[in-house]
Amino acid sequence: MIGAPRRIGLPQVTIYIGEVYATREPTVIKTLLGSCVAVCLWDPEMRVGGMNHFLLPRSPNGAPEDPARFGVHAMDLLICEMQKAGADRRRLRAKVFGGAHVLAMPEEEDGVPSQNIAFALEFLRRDGFRLTGEDLGGYQARRVHFHTDTGRAFVQRITSATALSRLAVTEQQHAVQRPAYGEVTLF
């Protein structure tokens, strides 16, 4: 859905690369995605919702310093946080966003965006989570707002040069704070 309605008084939490957040309190979890992927999980009975935001499917260098930057760990961490907040793993529903090709370089079939998408969808399929929504791939960054009390997600495609420039700066700043992993250059 495009154009998230404003709900006055609802707390908002913004997550960035390598972060996971889940709560049973009605909250809007927000993130901005380029080639990264965010998975939202929701338990409709307990009304517990959560989101992660990962950079790569897995660390090429073994045990990473910041595991939530990698999908394989970010998914486990999100599931654990959901269960700590009262969710039942058997009821979880999933929505997946991101994996856009946003860099000014030749697109590769096995590039980071494609790897992220394939990993997220395979993880959800393999673990038996019901996929109820997705907005993946393409060439535009996305702003995602996930409402933890309803499980609704709102996506805004980012087309303005200013917003894309801010996303690039944010990702570059994050890359400076973190080491490079293997042959992947963080942007």
Three-state SS for 11-44 is CEEECCCCEEEEECCCCEEEEEECCCEEEEEEEC
For residue 40, indicate whether it is catalytic: no
66 within 8 A of 13, measured Cβ to Cβ: no
Give the integer Cα–Cα distance in Å for 53 and 71. 8
Tell how far CA 147 is from the center of its chain.
Answer: 14
Q: Considering only the C-alpha atoms of the chain, give the largest distance between any 2 of them, rounded to a whole number of Å.
A: 45
Closest C-alpha among 10, 38, 35 to residue 144:
38
Work out the burial of residue 89: count CB atoms within 10 Å of its CB; fewer than 13 is exposed, 13-18 middle, 19 or more buried: middle
The DSSP H or E segment spanning 14 is strand 12-14
Give the integer Cα–Cα distance in Å for 164 and 158. 7
Q: Active-site residue among 20, 36, 78, 112? A: 36
Residues involved in catalysis: 36
